[in-house]
Structure 1
């Protein structure tokens, strides 16, 4: 029988952006989602190549994709969402006001894939494509369900 592993530390996500877009991505996530830099950014010759950010309890690393891998799929990944033309991943983020966050994200260069709407649960949710090709489901709870 397989022994289920014990997770040690946090599970983190890596978002690959086009090489050179790392600082713009970091600025977007800080400005729109309130992300905070977690630790020192990774620099090469004074240029940002990667940075860990904390969003709520989650850790996300922003990494510049290797331009050779972005250009040639046969080299294997990881590749940026722009190189692929889409992303197979959706990131859910829970915020205090989905309407406000969506509006701000669009003003900062994001695109609404699905406008914010009220779900049957009473929650508000919309879907955003950020300037780097990543898809975010932005949700806020509007009412608490009876127990």
Structure 2
């Protein structure tokens, strides 16, 4: 089994550029643009994981966090240096919701909202 989240966003090209810059994602495939000029899916890989971004299309029930009034999902990414990843994400437009710091449960973690409304827990080892 393979589980690959698909993030619904208003602008897949802009989102792809953000995830490449902020997370070091590799863009591995892009579907041809549809009638509205947006690709229906862009596939990415980060380490051994993959995820896609697709445009919001209300007729298909594909709604972005802004369409829903917030995100119903938390995406957790475990990295070697959570501080560096958090700094890259905020430098590219993410908003810090919970600062990255050592937590009593034995991890260094925090939470950000990316420019498209998706919520990310960034976690790693204590320092």
- Scaled by the length of structure 1, what TM-score is found? 0.78
What's the CA shift for 1:48?
A: 4.2
Partners of 1:88 and 1:129 lie apart in 2 by 12
Residue 3 of structure 2: aligned partner: 11
2:53 pairs, out of 55, 58, 62, with 62
Residue 31 of structure 2: aligned partner: 42
Residue 53 of structure 1: aligned partner: 44
Residue 15 of structure 2: aligned partner: 25
What's the CA shift for 1:76?
A: 6.6
Tell whether the 8 Å contact from 1:41 to 1:48 is kept in structure 2 after alignment: no
Question: For 1:38-92, what per-residue CA distance to the aligned partner results, in whole angstroms no more than 9, with x for missing partners?
Answer: 2x311226944120101222211100111xx1xxxxx572201111110110000
Indicate the structure whose relative CO is greater, using CA pairs within 8 Å and at least 6 residues apart. 2
Structure 2 alignment gaps of length 5 or more = none
Partners of 2:96 and 2:46 lie apart in 1 by 21
Partners of 1:45 and 1:93 lie apart in 2 by 31
Partners of 2:6 and 2:81 lie apart in 1 by 25
Q: Find the structure with the greater CA-based Rg.
A: 1
Partners of 1:64 and 1:118 lie apart in 2 by 36
What's the CA shift for 1:130?
A: 0.1
Q: How does 1:1-147 map to 2 (within 5 A)?
A: 7=1, 10-18=2-10, 21-38=11-28, 40-44=29-33, 47-49=37-39, 50-66=41-57, 69=58, 77-142=61-126
How many matched pairs? 125
Partners of 1:76 and 1:31 lie apart in 2 by 29
RMSD between aligned residues = 1.9
